[in-house]
Amino acid sequence: MPRGCCWRGWGSRRPILSRRQLAEYAKTNVVARRNARGGRGAAEHLIAALRCLYKRAVADGYIAATDSPALKVAKPRRLSSTRRAVADNRLAEINAVAASTGDDPALDSLLLRLHTKTACRRGGALALRPVDLDPDQCLILLREKGDTVRWQPVSPTLMRHLQQHAEERQAVGTGQLLRYRNGQRSPTGATTICGCASVSTCRGCTCSRSAPTGCGTRP
């Protein structure tokens, strides 16, 4: 793309709202979800997008760095996270439900145990392969969000169950380890579905779509 072509006609435009008004508009008219926090995230993302836009304008030489209007608008302060740990008795109840209900209790139980013991993300669990298991040192190789790769220690019991699962469900080499009984690979949403089903069955629990176990662990 030729330099500066994305700015053609931009100079003739006149903003209808000021940047502060635009941020307030985004904050007020955001689509409210159960975990909404008053639109603060929408305002923060809008200001970040405007800063990125004007940063490109500075890079292309259309304005000076000191003239960027987006820098004059402060981002909303990010609030503390509302995520919290699951109580031991609640976690035990979730595991008991997963082990006794559903289409594949063995897979559900193994997924919950893997997330609980390693704090891995959903993508890390689904990307796990038989070649990523190091039974001699009780380590598993996790490949997660942002191209993060790490060796995670696990208990001998969990390692044994992972190996047994791979053997029983014909998972070999670089193929996906977590599979259904028929050998079909576990799909992307399986961990969320497993957690939602378990949590919705437990007394006093609420399901969280962003959680692999449905109880506030990381996606």
Map out the domains of the chain as residue ranges: 16-72, 88-201
- The DSSP 8-state label assigned to residue 32 in this structure reads P
Does position 95 have pLDDT exceeding 60, yes or no?
yes
Mean pLDDT, all residues of the chain: 79
Does position 115 have pLDDT exceeding 50, yes or no?
yes
Does position 213 have pLDDT exceeding 80, yes or no?
no
pLDDT tier for residue 135 given thresholds of 50, 70 and 90: very high
For residue 33, the model assigns a pLDDT of 78
Report the pLDDT averaged over residues 56-74.
83
pLDDT tens string 180-209: 888 787 765 455 545 555 555 555 555 443
Report the pLDDT averaged over residues 157-167.
96
Nearest Cα to Cα of residue 166 among 204, 132, 122, 115: 132
For residue 21, the model assigns a pLDDT of 78
Q: Give the Cα separation of 195 and 198 in Å (integer).
A: 5
pTM value is: 0.62
Q: Give the Cα separation of 213 and 115 in Å (integer).
A: 8
For residue 190, the model assigns a pLDDT of 54
For residue 153, the model assigns a pLDDT of 97
- The DSSP 8-state label assigned to residue 180 in this structure reads -
- The DSSP 8-state label assigned to residue 179 in this structure reads B
The type of residue at 73 is: V
Is the Cβ–Cβ distance between 133 and 159 less than 8 Å? yes
- The DSSP 8-state label assigned to residue 185 in this structure reads B
Tokens standing for 146?
A: 């942002």
Tokens standing for 47?
A: 């200001």
Report the pLDDT averaged over residues 93-101.
90
Q: Which residue has the higher pLDDT, 91 or 69?
A: 91
Report the pLDDT averaged over residues 118-135.
94
pLDDT tens string 171-180: 999 999 999 8
Instruction: Given CATH 1.10.443.10, say whether it is the number of domain 88-201.
Output: yes
pLDDT tens string 70-80: 777 777 777 78
For residue 162, the model assigns a pLDDT of 96
Share of the chain above pLDDT 90, in %: 35
For residue 142, the model assigns a pLDDT of 96
Q: Give the Cα separation of 217 and 188 in Å (integer).
A: 16
Residue 150 DSSP SS3: strand
> Lowest-pLDDT range, 23-27, 28-32, 149-153, 197-201?
197-201
Order across the sheet with 139-144: list the strands: 133-134, 139-144, 148-153
Does position 40 have pLDDT exceeding 90, yes or no?
no
